[in-house]
Each structure stands twice: as C-alpha cells, then as structure tokens.
Amino acid sequence: MTSAVGGSAVSLCAIVLNWNGRDDTLACLASLATQTVPVHVLVVDNGSTDDSVAAVRREHPGVEVVETGANLGYAGGNDVGLRHALAGPFRQLLVLNNDTRLEPDCVERLSAALDACPGAAAVAPKSLAPGRPDRIHFAGGRVSRDGHAWHVGLGEPDGPAFDVSGDTEWISGCAIFASREALLRVGLFDERFFLLFEDLDWSLRARRLGYRLCYEPRARMRHAGSRSFGGKRGARYQYFFTRNGLLWLERSAPVHRLPLLLPRWIGEARSRIRRFGTSPEDRRALSVATRWGVEDWLRRRFGAGRGLLVPEVMRFDEGGTGPARESRA
C-alpha cells in the first residue's frame, strides 16, 4: 500500500470504523478532508447493511475502504484497519470514532504533540461533549487503584483548567493518535473485549511497557454521540459494560482485591438497571443484559458473545454526559 499527496509520501493514517453509520461517517470524513496536513484515510466497514460503503466511495473517492464482511466490534474492526495501515509506510496512526468531528488543525497538533512528548506511545485530543461544544467529554483519563476509570472533566464547562497538556493515565478510544513503533511493540486491541474497555486495556499495556500517554488540549474535536449500540443507557451497552468490566478488573486490579471488587462491579451493573430503567420493558432488557454479561464472563465467552442478541429497547442518551465518575463513561 502506498499513499502520496502531490508526489510526497503521507506519513499519517486515520482509521475510521463504520457499522451502519453512513451519516456519521460521512461527516467525520468531511472533517478529515479539512485537515491542515495530508492524511491518508482508511474506512473499515464492519459488515454494514445500509449503503455506507457506496456512499463513502461516491462522496469521498480518495478514501480507502476495507470491508470486513461481518461485525467484528470496535476491537476487531479497528485491528483489521491497524494491520492494514501497519503494512504501509505510515509513521503515525489515528484510530478515530466515526461520530467525531475534528477541528482543521487537530491532526497537525496531535502529530506535533506526539513528536514532542518523549517516550509517548499515544496522544489524546480534547473531546467536547455530544450536542454541547461548551462542555468536556474527555480531557484525559484517570484510573483508580481498584481499576475504575473515568474521564477528566466529563460534563463540566470547558475552560482553562482543561487547557493544560500533560500525561494521562488512559486514552479514550474515540481518538487514539499513536506511533507506529508503539503499536508494533504494545500490540493491537484485545479482541475479547469486542466493545468497551479495549482502550483502557491498550493504555494499561502501553504504560506497563514504560510508555507515556499524553493529552493535548490544543487538538480539539467534537464527539457527536453514536446511536450504533443504543447509547450508554442501552441494553447492549449494559451487556458489554458488565462482562468487559469484569474482564478488565481481573486484568488490571490487584489480585488480592478481586474477591471484593468483582462482586462490587456486579452490584454497580445492577444499580444501572434502577437508574436507567425508566419503564418495565427497559428494566427487563437491562436485567437480561446484566445476567448474560455475568454468565458470559464466567463461561469465558468473549468477543461478540451474546451482546448483539440482547433485546435493545432502550432509548439513546442524547445528553451523553452521565455521572462524572461512571466507569468507562
């Protein structure tokens, strides 16, 4: 694979994963087309059944498209794109959700920040909240000693407190700008997660190898809020939240604390049924999702598991902010 603009090699590749998200993906690609530096754009289509692929090829003929033929989840679909990109000449790679909109200098600032951050595996931009460009979605991430993780500034008004660059403990999967060298050494996403917590897991693996992770607030983007899995209050989200949270804890928390932390996580998942189940149908769907999530974790049934079979009746969370400390918010 080669990539060139005006006869010059392009050293940056953006990977955008699509699953039945035509409008989101087209808007994301339009923002990538405005970047102040050349970017090779690779769309990985995760077995869409809408006309996403045809629309991308029609409206963005310069974009490369790889079709997986099936829904491999966030982890599997992005791994397909990363393997494809790593076979090419790219020095830096951006894993980007299709529900993001980048400011024109975002990629240029991320590239400069990665070069300027000694020992960094990856850099995160400032992400602004769905429908609220004056509010923070992600301004760095923190992880507690119990393995719980949260977004710095989630739902808070944007301001000077979030304009300081520096280290972050993890990077949200909505935008991970990584070096080729780090990806080759750390490896790709763990496909057991399928959806949710794979970014936390990758961040932890990078830090265990001695890499830094950095936050660059001058690189800015908006996070539009995808509807693909029903939102953060949806039953499918609940399944992956429950199962993958348990998998994440067993991989990240101190072993001697697991007998306390694992039941506590199940209790936290059950508390979401009461908080987000606004009707009997919603509560039944969330209850099924929680039970299946625990069962599939116990049976070591990972990947898609039964996540795509969960009855999805929940409404999309338009606000998208949620509690400031909700794990993997």
Q: Give the β-pairing of 212-223 and 166-167.
A: antiparallel
Which of the two residues, 7 and 149, has the higher pLDDT score?
149
pLDDT digits (tens, 9 = 90+) for 202-250: 999 999 999 999 999 999 999 986 555 556 788 999 999 999 999 999 9
Sorted by where each begins, the domain ranges of the chain are: 4-223, 235-309
pLDDT band, residue 145 (cuts 50/70/90) = confident
Q: Give the β-pairing of 120-129 and 175-179.
A: antiparallel
Q: Look-up: residue for tokens 């301001």? A: 159
Cα–Cα dist 82/85, whole Å:
5
pLDDT digits (tens, 9 = 90+) for 77-99: 999 999 999 999 999 999 999 99
Q: What value does the mean pLDDT take over residues 255-284?
A: 94
Report angle CA 271, 265, 72 to the nearest 5 degrees. Answer: 100
pTM of the model: 0.90
Q: Residue 193 has what pLDDT?
A: 98
Q: Which CATH number fits domain 4-223: 3.10.20.600, 3.90.550.60, 3.40.190.80, 3.30.470.20?
A: 3.90.550.60
Judged by DSSP in three states, 321 sits in: coil
User: Residue 240: in which H helix or E strand, if any?
Assistant: helix 235-252
